[in-house]
A and B are shown apart, each in its own frame.
Chain A
Amino acid sequence: MSGANFVQLMLSGLAMSAIYALTATGLFVAHLATTRMNFGQGEFLMFAAYLSMALLLAGVPVLLVVAAVIVVLAMMGWGLERLAIRPLDRLRSLAGGQYSWVLTTMGVALILQNVVTLVWGKSSQYSPPLFSANRQNVVQFLGVGVFVEELLVIVVALVAILIFYAFLYRTRQGRAIYAVAFSPETASLLGIDVRRTVVLVFVMASVLAAISGVLVGPIVTVQPHMGLVFTVKAFAVASLGGFANPLGVLVGAIIFGVVESFSNYVNSAFGDLYPLLLVMALLVIKPSGLFGEAKTDVR
């Protein structure tokens, strides 16, 4: 492998890491506050990618596209909580046992995937680039030609993650999430509206899927089945980080994306499966992930 190859692979890996980090952070934040999450997180990303592609192709300016996709997905997150999560508390649903929410959120994902297929068709499509005139535009980076889109996806995702951290750690709503995560009862004694906070985390998870969806368009092919791939990988990433803190998720994403990039290079047929196998093996050896406390018990 040449040095140039190495840098390119690294960068491609990091671009995917950035997407995984955003998507997995969405799973993480919902799980943090509610111990539940959207098993259709990947389908939300897929839907955002299609929506963004359609708007870009219609000639809508990029910033407007981003804003529109975020607004639509935020509303979908709100709807998901109202439709597929909250009613289960009232019903104390017996059907799926304590994991009814896994099935309801997957049900929503199925519907979404079908709607996308009906609207945009089954075949893979190429989303227009966000940052440059051509998907294949290359700039010199560390003396190596790298794709502009990949480079900028990393930058934008990083900015988005930093904004998310700032929200989580620096605003009262963000701290309210930690209070609810610690104890919903204590949170309500501190004047925090727990129900609103729960809605908020699902909205945030969807917004993170929205950003990932917009960013992922130009670096992969967009197709209706991509959702499952991202759900599975985002969960693997969050498990790698142990669902313990957002930094663990970020480190997990970096490891996962880079390993995947190199294993794809080594074995183009099954390279994308190796990191998943590694994570599953890790879960057997260290059930709480790389950064989780030994007592972390994800139920």
Chain B
Amino acid sequence: MSADKHASPWPRNGAYLAMATAIFAFPLLVGNTFHIHIAQTLLYTTIAVIGLNMLLGLSGQMSLGQAGFYAIGAYGSALLTAKLGWPIAAGMLAGILLAGLAGCLVGLIALRTRGLYLAMATLAFGFMTEIAAQRWVDLTGGTMGVYGIPALDFGSSKMGKTYFLWVVGAAYLAVQIASDYVMSSRIRRKLLALKENESAARTTGINVPVWRTMVFAVSSLLAGTAGVFFTHQNAYINSDAFTLGLTLTMLIATVIGGLGTSYGPLIGTLITLMIAELIASLYDVSFLVNGLILLSVLLLFPQGAIGLVQKVAGLFRGAAREGTPEVAQSGSFSAFAPGAAPASAGPTLVIESLSKSYGGVVAVSDVSLSVDRGTVHALIGPNGAGKSTLINCVSGLYRSDSGRIQLAGKDVSHLPAHARARMGLARTFQNLQLVNSLTVMENLQLGLRSTRSIPADFSSWLLSDAFEREERARALDILRQFGMAHLASAFPEDLPYGHRKLAELARAIAEEPIVMLLDEPVAGLNDREAQEISGVIRRIRDAGTSILLVEHNMDFVMQLADRVTVLDHGERIAQGAPAEVQKDPRVVEAYLGAPLEASSATPAEAVS
């Protein structure tokens, strides 16, 4: 995952060409129809597994109902062509769309709940389709099956199997290429962000529910595609094919190949098909074997086959990855260009009598403040004063109970976090919200606003050796200003804490925000690192960005802030220039408690 990963698309495209050639030549060289049949099955099953791989590996959602979508695709196309006499192509398309539609419906559950509920809802969905296929005999023929389905053989009984393999092969290649694009583009970064860290995803402008549902629908569409091919491969289907066992086989293929890897689905499907052939004679113990495989892969080789290969290969490559990445040669770009802030003077962030309480406890009460363009406004106060709540309300992670928030003159009080982020509100978090499975560079790219449409982005990825070069140059430029260019390809967890803080700040800068919210930017840093951050924040401010920060390090606040607001028990107790606030007796009292004289009542009476 070095910075020049996308240097040339041609080795990769060469691999596609090689696969295309192999798929083309295979049926011509191998006369055995059984082997051709297996190759067909491998390719269309891989399509479904690629969908599951994206769902589970990239977006972190579990589906136990893939067989259901597969069945809907299969029956959809089978019934439309066999009973209603639709042309094969129309039936297939309709079957695929039906599966996608079912995915959208089940995905509604993903929209509202997540994780465990989704896993169970999909299990229930798969179970219900299985039962419907068995019992809705009028429609599906149950275990007797659907007869009279046209085979996809282009009218040639001799070459039909070959043609079918070519069609399936083309479909597989298209899906593989699309999946590779997803896995190396901003889509992967967004999906990993929402899998790992929803807050980070939302505050970098990702519409989490929409993405989550979309991935779910795509994975069901791909499962349906496999089902459609299955139908027209065999020209006969019955309910025995669509059991939980099928879902589990696909899951096993996904994890055995290596979750979230490009060729994991192909390798995983190949391995499971081989196992299936090997144990075909041992049909009685197939569940046993599958269960054991599932357990041993998850417990012993959680990185899967691709992961193992990479690990072994990594032993030889070893040090190569540690090399310094290229330094992009773009000179003039200024890393600290704020977004399109209004030219007019006046505050860019206005908070008007904002209140927020949870379960009857008031966390923030009627707080107002405004941050002028190009200034640093610090928010301080003892523990539990409501600072973090306020920041979370402003960034949109929490919804405030009352009050108004204006960003560059526009009321954003009712906008969700991702919309506020897109309008130029960036933030960092107290406890660091970097995406750990992305490199530092990729974390920065997550913050960059992309201007290219998906098709343009795709064709650039497919054909150009300059894919995302500009973005990477910009990200690297920002990193260089932080003195971190050499760490671009490192993963956040491998960095010292101070560098991680800087990386998160760099990601926020990449968003070219009008307003930055910094939650404890120097917590946990030593004095030298704090100085470094302080310098960076000054430069951001001087470039015209407004900053609202929460911090406990008083040296830092007093040096840096243009204005300070002090909160205690959710209320604003002081506001003004740092020096004034520091002297305010209410502030000293908030930090130290009541003056000693007043508290000298005899504590002894309180003891029983």
Instruction: State whether the Cβ of B90 lies closer than 8 Å to any Cβ in chain A.
Output: no
Instruction: State whether the Cβ of B120 lies closer than 8 Å to any Cβ in chain A.
Output: yes
Chain B residues near A61 (CB-CB < 8 A): none
Instruction: State whether the Cβ of A229 lies closer than 8 Å to any Cβ in chain B.
Output: yes
Shortest A39–chain B CB gap in Å is 8
Contact A114–B120 (Cβ < 8 Å):
no
Assembly CA distance A110 to B290 (angstroms): 7
Assuming the contacts A284-B109, A287-B117, asked whether A103 and B132 have C-beta atoms less than 8 A apart, the reply is: no
Contact A103–B299 (Cβ < 8 Å):
no
Instruction: State whether the Cβ of B259 lies closer than 8 Å to any Cβ in chain A.
Output: yes
Contact A228–B299 (Cβ < 8 Å):
no
Assembly CA distance A47 to B49 (angstroms): 31
Q: CB-CB contacts of A71-96 with B at 8 A, as 1s and 0s?
A: 00000000000011001100101111
B299's contact among A39, A91, A231, A298, by CB below 8 Å, is which?
A91
Chain B residues near A99 (CB-CB < 8 A): 56, 62, 115-116, 119
Instruction: State whether the Cβ of B304 lies closer than 8 Å to any Cβ in chain A.
Output: yes
Contact B124–A236 (Cβ < 8 Å):
yes
Instruction: State whether the Cβ of B484 lies closer than 8 Å to any Cβ in chain A.
Output: no
Assembly CA distance A287 to B116 (angstroms): 12
Shortest B509–chain A CB gap in Å is 30
Nearest CB to that of A234 among chain B residues?
Answer: B120
A283's contact among B62, B117, B287, by CB below 8 Å, is which?
B117
Chain A residues near B290 (CB-CB < 8 A): 107, 110
Contact B117–A111 (Cβ < 8 Å):
no
Instruction: State whether the Cβ of A38 lies closer than 8 Å to any Cβ in chain B.
Output: no
Chain A residues near B288 (CB-CB < 8 A): 110-111, 114-115, 118
Chain B residues near A283 (CB-CB < 8 A): 109, 112-113, 117, 121
A84's contact among B128, B136, B295, by CB below 8 Å, is which?
B295
Assuming the contacts A96-B255, A97-B195, A228-B244, asked whether A107 and B136 have C-beta atoms less than 8 A apart, the reply is: no
Nearest CB to that of A100 among chain B residues?
Answer: B298
Shortest A143–chain B CB gap in Å is 35
Nearest CB to that of B437 among chain A residues?
Answer: A94
Contact B119–A107 (Cβ < 8 Å):
no
Chain B residues near A109 (CB-CB < 8 A): 291
Instruction: Pick from B115, B244, B299 the residue with the most CB of A within 10 Å.
Output: B299
Chain A residues near B304 (CB-CB < 8 A): 95
Chain A residues near B291 (CB-CB < 8 A): 106-111, 114
Contact B303–A94 (Cβ < 8 Å):
yes
Instruction: Pick from B56, B128, B135, B307 the residue with the most CB of A within 10 Å.
Output: B128
Q: CB-CB contacts of B274-308 with A at 8 A, as 1s and 0s?
A: 00000000001111101111110111011110010
Contact B60–A232 (Cβ < 8 Å):
no
Assembly CA distance A277 to B105 (angstroms): 12
Residues 184 to 213 of chain B near chain A (Cβ within 8 Å)? 195
Instruction: State whether the Cβ of A239 lies closer than 8 Å to any Cβ in chain B.
Output: yes
Assuming the contacts A107-B295, A111-B292, asked whether A95 and B259 have C-beta atoms less than 8 A apart, the reply is: yes
Instruction: State whether the Cβ of B523 lies closer than 8 Å to any Cβ in chain A.
Output: no
Nearest CB to that of B111 among chain A residues?
Answer: A284
Contact B299–A87 (Cβ < 8 Å):
yes
Assembly CA distance A248 to B124 (angstroms): 20
Assembly CA distance A229 to B124 (angstroms): 9
Instruction: State whether the Cβ of A251 lies closer than 8 Å to any Cβ in chain B.
Output: no
Instruction: State whether the Cβ of B127 lies closer than 8 Å to any Cβ in chain A.
Output: yes
Residues 116 to 154 of chain B near chain A (Cβ within 8 Å)? 116-117, 119-121, 123-125, 127-128, 131-132, 135-136
Assembly CA distance A245 to B409 (angstroms): 47
Shortest A250–chain B CB gap in Å is 19
Nearest CB to that of A277 among chain B residues?
Answer: B128
Residues 90 to 119 of chain B near chain A (Cβ within 8 Å)? 108-109, 111-117, 119
Nearest CB to that of A283 among chain B residues?
Answer: B109
Q: CB-CB contacts of A262-299 with B at 8 A, as 1s and 0s?
A: 00000001101100110110011001000000000111
Shortest A18–chain B CB gap in Å is 21
Assuming the contacts A95-B297, A283-B113, A298-B117, asked whether A228 and B127 have C-beta atoms less than 8 A apart, the reply is: yes
Nearest CB to that of A115 among chain B residues?
Answer: B288
Contact A97–B60 (Cβ < 8 Å):
yes
Contact B120–A94 (Cβ < 8 Å):
no
Contact B285–A104 (Cβ < 8 Å):
no
Shortest B236–chain A CB gap in Å is 23
Nearest CB to that of B259 among chain A residues?
Answer: A95
Contact A273–B298 (Cβ < 8 Å):
no
Secondary structure type dominating chain B contacts: helix
Nearest CB to that of A87 among chain B residues?
Answer: B299
Contact A299–B115 (Cβ < 8 Å):
yes
Contact A232–B123 (Cβ < 8 Å):
yes
Assuming the contacts A95-B303, A103-B298, asked whether A114 and B124 have C-beta atoms less than 8 A apart, the reply is: no
A117's contact among B131, B284, B292, by CB below 8 Å, is which?
B284
Assembly CA distance A95 to B293 (angstroms): 13
Chain A residues near B271 (CB-CB < 8 A): none
Instruction: State whether the Cβ of A261 lies closer than 8 Å to any Cβ in chain B.
Output: no
Nearest CB to that of A109 among chain B residues?
Answer: B291
Q: CB-CB contacts of B503-536 with A at 8 A, as 1s and 0s?
A: 0000000000000000000000000000000000
Chain A residues near B114 (CB-CB < 8 A): 297-299
Assembly CA distance A117 to B135 (angstroms): 23
Q: CB-CB contacts of A226-246 with B at 8 A, as 1s and 0s?
A: 001101100110010000000
Instruction: State whether the Cβ of B248 lies closer than 8 Å to any Cβ in chain A.
Output: yes
Instruction: State whether the Cβ of B64 lies closer than 8 Å to any Cβ in chain A.
Output: yes
Contact B302–A95 (Cβ < 8 Å):
yes
Assuming the contacts A114-B287, A283-B113, asked whether A235 and B123 have C-beta atoms less than 8 A apart, the reply is: yes
Shortest A294–chain B CB gap in Å is 11
Chain A residues near B88 (CB-CB < 8 A): none
Contact A104–B60 (Cβ < 8 Å):
no
Instruction: State whether the Cβ of B476 lies closer than 8 Å to any Cβ in chain A.
Output: no
Contact A94–B259 (Cβ < 8 Å):
yes
Chain B residues near A132 (CB-CB < 8 A): none
Shortest B342–chain A CB gap in Å is 38
Contact A229–B127 (Cβ < 8 Å):
yes
Assembly CA distance A247 to B444 (angstroms): 48
Contact A111–B287 (Cβ < 8 Å):
yes
Instruction: State whether the Cβ of B335 lies closer than 8 Å to any Cβ in chain A.
Output: no
Instruction: State whether the Cβ of A113 lies closer than 8 Å to any Cβ in chain B.
Output: yes
Instruction: State whether the Cβ of A98 lies closer than 8 Å to any Cβ in chain B.
Output: yes
Assuming the contacts A102-B64, A107-B295, asked whether A269 and B136 have C-beta atoms less than 8 A apart, the reply is: yes
Contact B244–A103 (Cβ < 8 Å):
no
Nearest CB to that of B245 among chain A residues?
Answer: A110
Chain A residues near B297 (CB-CB < 8 A): 95
Contact A93–B125 (Cβ < 8 Å):
no
Chain B residues near A115 (CB-CB < 8 A): 288
Chain A residues near B293 (CB-CB < 8 A): 107
Interface residues of B (CB under 8 A from A): 56-57, 60, 62, 64, 108-109, 111-117, 119-121, 123-125, 127-128, 131-132, 135-136, 195, 244, 248, 251, 255, 259, 284-288, 290-295, 297-299, 301-304, 307
A–B complex contacts, Cβ < 8 Å, 30 sampled: A37-B116, A84-B299, A88-B298, A91-B299, A97-B195, A98-B60, A98-B115, A99-B62, A102-B119, A103-B251, A103-B255, A107-B298, A110-B287, A110-B291, A111-B295, A114-B285, A114-B286, A115-B288, A117-B287, A229-B127, A236-B120, A239-B117, A269-B136, A270-B131, A270-B135, A270-B136, A273-B128, A280-B121, A298-B115, A299-B115
List 4 extra interface pairs beyond A111-B287, A235-B124, CB under 8 A.
A100-B298, A228-B244, A232-B124, A270-B131
The 7 closest A-B pairs by CB, nearest first: A110-B291, A107-B294, A114-B287, A111-B291, A114-B288, A95-B302, A299-B115
